[in-house]
Amino acid sequence: MQQEDQPSEVASSPSPTETPQPPPEQLTPTPPPETTPSENTSPDSDKKEKFKLIQSDLAKRLDTTPSTIGRRKSDDSFAEWSQSKDPDGIAWKYLRKSRVFIPVDPDKRYV
């Protein structure tokens, strides 16, 4: 029996409902969706997060040692002392429960 000659590859054209896709090198990435105000990503929340410091980070900011911060953090004059050492004049207080330092006046606009 003889086999009929059939082409080994059949070129298929896209069906009318399919959209031809460009080659991968011509595809452009889709940018991520922009955040909406309801996602709580305001500059104010960023600043508050930026100004939550652990002891070693506050020591670097105040140009002192972590042990000095540790000794002074419970002093009544800590806010005034830290303000005098801070390059932006920020007064700091220690939150014992969360073990971080935050500005005394978190609503103040710091640059």
Question: What does the angle CA 39 – CA 91 – CA 37 come to, to the nearest 5 degrees?
Answer: 10
CB 50 within 8 A of CB 103: no
Which is nearest to 101 in space by CA: 40, 64, 59, 53?
53
Q: Is residue 5 part of a domain?
A: no
pLDDT for res 42: 44
CB 109 within 8 A of CB 89: no
Residue type for 72, please? R
Q: How many domains does the chain have?
A: 1
How do the pLDDT tens digits run along the chain, 111 residues long?
555 555 555 555 555 566 666 565 555 555 555 544 444 444 544 455 567 999 999 999 999 999 999 999 999 999 999 999 999 999 999 999 999 999 998 666 554
Q: Is residue 89 part of a domain?
A: yes
What is the C-alpha to C-alpha distance for residues 63 and 48, in angstroms, rounded to an integer? 21
* Residue 12 tokens, joined: 């298929």
Q: Is residue 25 part of a domain?
A: no
Q: Is residue 80 part of a domain?
A: yes
* Residue 56 tokens, joined: 């070693």
Residue type for 64, please? T
Print the domain residue range for 73.
46-102
